[in-house]
Each structure stands twice: as C-alpha cells, then as structure tokens.
Amino acid sequence: MKGQVWSYDLLIAVVAFMLTLAFLVFFWWSVSAAVGAPRSEQLPEEARSIADVLLSPGNPSNWNDTINASNASTWTTITLIGIGEGFGSPELSQGKAEKMLQMNATNYSLLKEKLRSDFDFYVEMREFFNCSNATSYCTARGITISSPEYDQLEHYVLVSGQNFTLGIPPSSGNARTVAVINRFAVYNNSLVKLKVVAWTNQTWQ
C-alpha cells in the first residue's frame, strides 16, 4: 500500500515538473518574440523589400528636389525613398542616386528608416565591362592592367566620382547572418546590377 502511494506521489511530481518546464519554455519563447528576436524568414523578406523600395521612384516621386541631403531635418517630406525614374521603369535616376549617396553619408540610421528597413543593410551598384576592350575608359577610372579589378567583368558604378555603395558592409558590423538579393536595372544607358544585403548580428529564433 505504501509502495502504491509512493508511486502516485512520484507520478504527480513528474507531471508537475513537466508542466513547469513547458511553461518556462513557452515563457522564454514569448519574451524572445516580444523583444524582437528575428525569425529566419525575415531577413530574405527584408532584402527583397529594400530592393523593391530602391527601384521605386519614391514618394514624392521628385523627393530629390525637395530636400537638402546634408540636413536630415528636411527629409520629413519623404515617405518612401527610391532611385527609380518611375514605377515600372528599369531606368535609375542619376540625380536621386547622387542625393542618396549624400544622405547615406549624413545619417545612415534615418536613411534606413526611409527605406523601411528594420535591419542593417548594404547596397552596391555595379556595371559590366571588360577592361581589355575598354582600356582608355578603365585608365581614366584609375584601373590599370596591374589592378586586381582589371580582369573583372563587374565594376562599381561611379556616381559623382564615388563608388555607389550605401549602408554598412556586413563584415564591418560583425554580421552573424546575411541575405542577398540581386536586381538588374539601367543606369546612364548601361545595364547595372544592384546587390542588396540585409544583415543582422542578432540571434535567430
């Protein structure tokens, strides 16, 4: 009889322990979600979203004419920021690209907000040419035959004399996870590739 009572007590203790453990696991998961620990599917979605926004003309579509890129307080009129000439157009605007480079240097965090991104990002624009067939063009850009870039097919697009890159490279931010998406467009009558990287150094659920 005593053995049977002991068995019942043990069973009740085990059930109570399992219920407590289940509650603690659920509580930990709820807290993690509440503080914003990202889920693995979020990052690729974010990279696609940033790319879509970048290729849009923005809102207002002439936003580059309405702000001072060096004064972030003037950016309040922008609800969506992109470098496209128009919706559905493959053309990218040189004026908007120039302004966005300046904005990136002025306030990265606010630019990230205007791109509607919750994660850090990095963007680069590259064009395609072979220096062996465009020697004078490459030389004018400082790409000599001894340069590692000379034999590459992809080269940074220059905007106002600067390589078109936005954001923070993942390697500079100790990124743990990255998502990359490539989009193609036309800039200055040339085919270009926009490489969009969304990254985080947070842990994943």
At residue 34, the pLDDT reads: 43
- Lowest mean pLDDT of 15-19, 93-97, 105-109, 165-169, name the range: 15-19
At residue 32, the pLDDT reads: 46
pLDDT tens-digit series, residues 145-168: 888 888 899 999 999 999 999 999
Please tell me the pTM assigned to this model.
0.77
**Extents of the domains making up the chain:** 2-28+41-200
Show contacts of 35-43: CB within 8 Å, 24+ apart: 36/202, 37/202, 37/203, 37/204, 37/205, 38/119, 38/200, 38/202, 38/204, 38/205, 39/204, 39/205, 40/177, 40/204, 40/205, 42/119, 43/119, 43/177, 43/178, 43/179, 43/198, 43/199, 43/200
pLDDT mean over 22-40 = 52
